[in-house]
Amino acid sequence: MTTDIWIVTCILLATIIAFVLDCFRMDLVAFVSMLTLLLTGILSPAEATAGFSNSLVLMIAGLFVVGGAILESGVADVAGRWLGRLGGTSTTRLTVAVMLASALLSAFLSSTGTVAVMLPVVLSLCRGAEVSPSKLLIPLAFAASLGGMLTLIGTPPNMVVNQELRGAGLETFQFFSFAPAGLLMLALGIVFMCTLGTRLLPAQATTPAVAGRNQGLVSRPELIHSYGVDGQICEIRIPRGSNFAERTLRELGLRSTFHVNVLAVSTPDKFRSRVRSATVRKCSPETLLHVGDTLFIKSANEEAIAKLIREGQVEMVTTSASLPKVVHLAELIIPPRSKFVARTVRDLDFFRVYGAVVLALRKGNQPVSTRTSDTPLHPGDTLLVAANASALKRLGKSRNDVLLVSEQAEEGDAPLKPVAYWVIGILVGMLIAMSTGLSENVTAVLVAATLMVIAGAFRGTNAYQSINWQSIVLIASVMPLATALDKTGAFDLVVDAIVESPGLTSPWILLLLLFVVTSVLSQAISNTATSVLIAPLALELAAQLDVSPYPLLMGVALAASTAFSTPVASPINALVAGAGSYRFGDFLRVGIPLQLLILIATIAIVPLLFPFSP
């Protein structure tokens, strides 16, 4: 082995170890890997940065914009609700309906976006049917992964293997080339989850309070009780002579001085003194308090409230306050790539930025109602917040950082926005262009993304915000690593070792080996990064053994979508882990049998659809 091969091998191993340990962001790890290849002279500047101008990366960025438009316009929400209603109250019917809906959306949206849309719907269905979310949320996540097997744009690994064929000058996969194998895998997944899978899933006695937005409203007492906030909300009134009169909330520093949160301020009108006829004012740091105002406050510390009453010279009205109607309670869930992760509510300055007060949070089944401002947040945590309608609307648009899964709102489903019909037309046009070969895939995607913006599907810079830049940087930064493995001859060493091993030269054994390696790596690192590294190897092995590359690359693509066995295998697993109160072992118990089932099906069906003979 040459020095360059040793250097590249060390960089590869260090990158994989860093991915597995998850101590740093994956895009940062990949970018450092790319810089190391550049600084060591393994790659030239043009080779190291080629990934950022690669048509695959541009197409994935365009698809994020298209998917964002589908989400922003409400098309995905309506589709998810419509399909979700087919489930009825039977657990089996619900499982089938949820998995079909998730797979269909995931065939055209990102899997994370699909789960973000479907999660509130599924939780609402669970409440209506009195079924534990633990029975449906893993099927939801797994179906989103399986749906990526249905189309060329269903998941980045599909596009990665297609790009390898294009780079080799071979005929590429068509838009629906993945569908025959993908449909079989989806059918197997549904059958498995409706039979053995449902027995392996945990059965919780009670359902979390999280419910679907605009589906089944949750009562305030139920929300307050489920988060352990009972008895922590009370009313105080400012009498004449109070130290709080004619001062702003900022001046008083109630949160820092007395450790209480003000949820609302009610001012009685000039002619009636009863609070129910009072005006509830928007609560902000600049809210000025007057004599006669009633404050709705939350605190878990009785001594703090006593100190507040004593030093502020205010009156206690009731210790079991009923919040005004304009104050909405809502539940939020933290997605995996949120900027909230590893930060506290205090760090985020949540009230100032979003205009909402965090009352409590839930980690799995454990509510945290004290010192919530200082508790670090993690993916899957749920927050109970109090806010007005406009603040909830802002939170609802922050899908990348926080997912609004339940709120108090008017009953009835929100109608489609007028721009939704343009979005549907543009999407259909893009799919026709890609499936019929009227234009190159990247051209069709970029044109569709541009038309979505021109049609008004986004406001301001929301189109840029819809792009998951972490994924873009990750993919573009991992590509040079594959280039370095090829340039230094490291790929050739691996290929030669396999070719010289009699037991590995059978194309069936080779397909099995590539599937196992890809599937195992996808449990620990990004499936896109895995496919970027394995796809060139599969192509080179096919050339050396004189077999068709299509079954091997199809096997790699299918294996990359089998990230089932751990809650950290993919962002969607992490997203449902908290909402479903799953343990690490739940994913192992259900995921490993399904992976083995997909493996057997791949070995059996892929060579029939794509023969080994060139």
For residue range 244-294, what is the model confidence (pLDDT) as tens digits? 888 887 787 777 777 787 878 888 765 444 444 556 766 777 788 888 888
Q: Largest alpha-carbon pair distance within the chain?
A: 95
In a domain, 198, yes or no: yes
Instruction: Tell me how far the alpha carbon of residue 528 is from its chain's centroid.
Output: 16
Residues 296 and 374 in one domain: no
pLDDT value at position 89? 66
Average pLDDT over residues 346-363: 80
Categorise residue 412: left if φ over 0, alpha if ψ from -120 to 50, beta otherwise.
left
Of 285, 318, 351, which residue sits at a domain end? 318
134: which residues sit within 8 A by CB, 6+ positions away? Answer: 201, 202, 203, 204, 580, 581, 582, 586
Residues 8 and 124 in one domain: yes
Of 407, 439, 458, which residue sits at a domain end? 407
pLDDT value at position 590? 92
Dist. CA 224–CA 329, nearest whole Å: 9
Residues 161 and 301 in one domain: no
Average pLDDT over residues 454-479: 80
pLDDT value at position 276? 44
Average pLDDT over residues 470-498: 80
In a domain, 413, yes or no: no
Of 407, 424, 451, which residue sits at a domain end? 407
Buried/exposed 85-112: b ≥16 CB within 10 Å, e otherwise: eebeeebeebbbbbbbbbbbbbbbbbbb
Residues 185 and 288 in one domain: no
Taking each helix axis as running N to C, give the angle between helix 75-84 and helix 419-436, from 0 to 180 degrees, rounded to the nearest 10.
80
pLDDT value at position 63? 82
Average pLDDT over residues 231-235: 79
Instruction: Work out the mean pLDDT of the chain and round it to a whole number.
Output: 80
| pLDDT confidence band for 181 (50 / 70 / 90) | very high
Dist. CA 439–CA 167, nearest whole Å: 18
Residues 31 and 144 in one domain: yes
Residues 399 and 333 in one domain: yes
Q: Residue 610 pLDDT > 90, yes or no?
A: yes
Alpha-carbon distances of 540 from 27, 54, 113, 158, 168, rounded to whole Å: 27, 21, 34, 18, 10
Residues 163 and 269 in one domain: no
In a domain, 66, yes or no: no
| pLDDT confidence band for 595 (50 / 70 / 90) | very high
Average pLDDT over residues 403-415: 55
Residues 580 and 555 in one domain: yes
Q: What would the two tokens of residue 602 be?
A: 């791949």
In a domain, 452, yes or no: no
Residues 148 and 267 in one domain: no
Average pLDDT over residues 111-125: 76
Residues 387 and 508 in one domain: no
Dist. CA 116–CA 113, nearest whole Å: 5
Q: What would the two tokens of residue 596 be?
A: 């083995």
93-97, 469-473, 554-558: which is most confident? 554-558
In 252-342, DSSP assigns E strands to: 261-267, 279-281, 294-298, 315-318, 328-333
Among 208-212, 311-315, 317-321, 339-343, name the one with the lowest average pLDDT: 208-212
pLDDT value at position 38? 92
Residues 143 and 273 in one domain: no
Among 218-232, 317-331, 377-391, 399-413, name the one with the lowest average pLDDT: 399-413
pLDDT value at position 253? 76
In a domain, 23, yes or no: yes
Categorise residue 453: left if φ over 0, alpha if ψ from -120 to 50, beta otherwise.
alpha
Q: What would the two tokens of residue 18 be?
A: 């860093």
Dist. CA 118–CA 136, nearest whole Å: 11
CA count, 13 A, side-chain hemisphere, 103 = 25
In a domain, 456, yes or no: no
Among 35-39, 75-79, 506-510, name the one with the lowest average pLDDT: 75-79
**280, 296, 291: which is closest to 245 by C-alpha?**
291
**160, 141, 144, 143: which is closest to 152 by C-alpha?**
160
**418, 426, 335, 423: which is closest to 383 by C-alpha?**
335
For residue range 510-525, what is the model confidence (pLDDT) as tens digits? 999 999 989 988 877 7
Please give the single-letter amino acid code of residue 406: S
| pLDDT confidence band for 128 (50 / 70 / 90) | low
Specify the number of domains making up the chain: 3
For residue 362, the cross-strand partners are 367, 382
- Residue that wins the pLDDT comparison between 598 and 503: 598
161: which residues sit within 8 A by CB, 6+ positions away? Answer: 173, 531, 535, 538, 553, 554, 556, 557
Dist. CA 447–CA 426, nearest whole Å: 9
For residue range 283-292, what is the model confidence (pLDDT) as tens digits? 777 788 888 8
In a domain, 435, yes or no: no
* C-beta separation of 102 from 197 below 8 A: no
Which residue segment(s) compose the domain that 313 sits in? 232-318
pLDDT value at position 123? 74
pLDDT value at position 1? 67
Q: What CATH number does the domain containing 346 carry?
A: 3.30.70.1450
Dist. CA 157–CA 21, nearest whole Å: 22
In a domain, 159, yes or no: yes
| Full-model pTM | 0.70
Dist. CA 259–CA 238, nearest whole Å: 18
**119, 113, 120: which is closest to 154 by C-alpha?**
113
Residues 276 and 334 in one domain: no
* C-beta separation of 297 from 272 below 8 A: no
pLDDT value at position 272? 43
For residue range 80-110, what is the model confidence (pLDDT) as tens digits? 667 656 666 678 888 998 899 889 888 887 7
